[in-house]
């Protein structure tokens, strides 16, 4: 009869709905603890990286000595290793968060199935009751009020369950959205980890550079200072001859061939920006640097092994390494990228090059790693922006009157073709 059936159905359905999800709760707690642990480790590593950054800044302010050069290489390597650990912790935390969301979604799917089964069960009992004649239903109940109470209870139960199903479906959709966002975040972190891992190659190169430096100077400070002085003199001589060559180049800039000045036309070529020398007739250039003609780019502080990124999508027009020729002090390892908007960018004094001439690159793609090659007396990135129509790659033999590296190549332009990078960054 309806009373017996409804009572049994309600007992069964309530058992379904109030069964505590014990395994889910335990699993969720474990995942939350795992995420909290990863977040704690992330905070610790971030503090560690800040210490390394402070140390590198302090070393950069010190007088250039062999000891400081070696110490900078060591701290740079420690910082990159910490960055790799940080990326891994973030990946682990994001993975755990995704796992937590998946479990929550699966739990809600199970609850939806339970509630839908509960609805079906109530409908089956109501339909079964309707098969009996009204007289049989009345006679089968000792109290007519029980009949109406049973029917009303089942209908109320259906209303509550339907409401919970609607709410659970809404929550599930929200979780799926969050899960998609987290998966995108995880993809970015994996890419970041890949980029960081490739720095190990640059750091290995730097480790070798450290050994070469100690060997070249025989670990003597006096020899190191002689090497710095040699680079300073070579730089002055090169810049004087380069300026003389550029004065012979004729170029009239057509403003319609380059983009209007504006922030964000180009992206910063490094993640952390610290300018050590600006473009043009700075106080440093007025003191006699750059042969008095002004600085043709911007210098950024960048410890050896720092990823150098393309400021805009384009094609690698050329690469070079003037250090491949003994005693040839110039840009060292450099990359020239031509962009479709009429600008071309130069990245010089690199420790390692990751791209090849003719290769298409995207904005932010790693072109190489900062270094101390060429006439550089300390690790940094030299960044130049040209009007594309003005820049060309020439042999050093065509620039320098006296050189033992005539076949080394560098990009040059008439002075009118050099643009202030800050007008576009």
Task: For residue 331, give every residue at least 6 positions away whose Cβ sits within 8 Å of its Cβ, in sequence order, or none.
Answer: 320, 322, 346, 348, 349, 373, 374, 382, 410
Q: For residue 411, give both structure tokens.
A: 């990009």
- What's the CA gap between 217 and 224, in Å, rounded? 6
Quick one: pLDDT at residue 285? 41
Both tokens of 149, joined, read 């109470």
Amino acid 7: pLDDT: 52
> How many CB atoms lie under 10 A from the CB of residue 343?
24
CA quadruple 159, 163, 169, 171: dihedral, nearest 10? -160
pLDDT beneath 50, residues of the chain: 1-2, 18, 20, 133-135, 138, 147, 282, 284-292
The pLDDT of residue 166: 78
State residue 264's pLDDT score: 94
Q: How many CB atoms lie within 10 A of CB 13?
A: 21
| Three-state secondary-structure class, residue 215 | helix
Question: Residue 161 has what pLDDT?
Answer: 67
* Cα gap 422→298, rounded to integer Å: 9
DSSP string across 107-120: HHHHHHHHHHHHHH
CA 401 centroid distance within chain: 44
Residue 344, pLDDT score? 98
What is the pLDDT at residue 145? 55
d(CA 355, CA 368): 7
Instruction: Say what the pLDDT of residue 24 is.
Output: 63
- Do 387 and 417 meet the contact criterion of CB atoms below 8 Å apart? yes
3-state SS class at 3: helix
DSSP per-residue letters across 385-417: EEETTT-EEEEGGGT-SS-S-TT-EEEE--GGG
Q: Pairing between strand 343-353 and 275-277? A: unpaired
- Please list the residues that pair with 386 across neighbouring strands: 344, 418
Radius of gyration of the chain (CA): 35
Residues 210-253: tens digit of each pLDDT? 887 888 888 899 998 998 898 888 877 777 777 778 888 888 88
Detail the DSSP E strand segments found in 241-313.
275-277, 298-301, 307-309
Q: In the prediction, which pLDDT does 2 show?
A: 45
- The pTM (predicted TM-score) of the whole model is 0.73
| Alpha carbon distances (Å) from 377 to 191, 208, 229, 233, 348 | 33, 18, 9, 11, 13
Q: Is 81 left (phi over 0), alpha (psi -120 to 50) or beta?
A: alpha
The 8 Å CB, 24+ separation contacts for 178-182 are 178/101, 179/98, 179/101, 179/102, 179/105, 182/94, 182/97, 182/98, 182/101
148 closest CA partner among 355, 291, 2, 364? 2
Listed residue (120, 425, 118) closest to 265, CA to CA: 425
* Domains parsed from the chain with CATH numbers: 2-204 (no CATH), 236-423 (2.70.70.10)
């Amino acid at each position: 009869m309806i009373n017996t059936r409804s009572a049994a159905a309600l007992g069964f359905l309530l058992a379904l709905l109030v069964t505590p999800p014990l395994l889910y709760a335990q699993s969720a707690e474990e995942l939350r603890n795992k995420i909290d642990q990863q977040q704690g480790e992330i905070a610790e590593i971030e503090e560690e990286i800040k210490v390394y950054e402070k140390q590198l800044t302090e070393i950069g302010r010190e007088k250039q000595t062999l000891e400081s050069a070696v110490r900078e290489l060591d701290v740079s390597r420690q910082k990159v290793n910490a960055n790799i650990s940080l990326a891994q912790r973030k990946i682990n935390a994001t993975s755990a968060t995704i796992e937590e969301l998946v479990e929550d979604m699966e739990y809600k799917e199970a609850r939806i199935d339970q509630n839908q089964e509960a609805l079906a069960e109530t409908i089956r009992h109501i339909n079964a009751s309707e098969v009996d004649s009204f007289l049989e239903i009345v006679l089968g109940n000792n109290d007519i009020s029980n009949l109406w109470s049973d029917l009303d209870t089942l209908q109320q139960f259906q209303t509550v369950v339907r409401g919970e199903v609607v709410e659970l479906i809404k929550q599930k959709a929200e979780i799926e959205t969050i899960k998609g966002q987290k998966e995108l975040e995880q993809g970015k972190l994996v890419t970041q980890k890949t980029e960081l891992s490739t720095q190990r190659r640059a750091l290995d190169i730097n480790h070798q550079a450290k050994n070469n430096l100690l060997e070249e100077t025989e670990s003597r400070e006096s020899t190191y200072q002689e090497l710095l002085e040699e680079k300073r003199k070579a730089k002055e001589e090169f810049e004087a001859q380069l300026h003389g060559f550029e004065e012979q180049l004729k170029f009239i800039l057509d403003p319609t061939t380059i983009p209007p000045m504006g922030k964000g036309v180009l992206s910063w070529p490094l993640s952390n920006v610290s300018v050590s020398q600006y473009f043009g007739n700075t106080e440093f250039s007025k003191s006699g640097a750059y042969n008095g003609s002004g600085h043709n780019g911007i210098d950024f502080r960048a410890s050896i092994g720092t990823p150098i990124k393309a400021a805009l999508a384009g094609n690698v027009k050329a690469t070079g390494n003037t250090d491949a020729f003994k005693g040839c002090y110039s840009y060292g390892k450099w990359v020239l990228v031509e962009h479709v908007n009429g600008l071309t960018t130069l990245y010089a004094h690199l420790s390692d090059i990751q791209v090849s001439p003719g290769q298409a690159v995207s904005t932010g793609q790693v072109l190489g790693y900062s270094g101390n090659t060429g006439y550089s007396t300390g690790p940094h990135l030299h960044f130049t922006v040209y009007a594309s129509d003005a820049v060309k790659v020439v042999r050093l033999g065509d620039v320098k009157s006296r050189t033992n590296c005539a076949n080394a190549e560098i990009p040059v332009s008439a002075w009118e073709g050099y643009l202030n990078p800050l007008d576009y960054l």
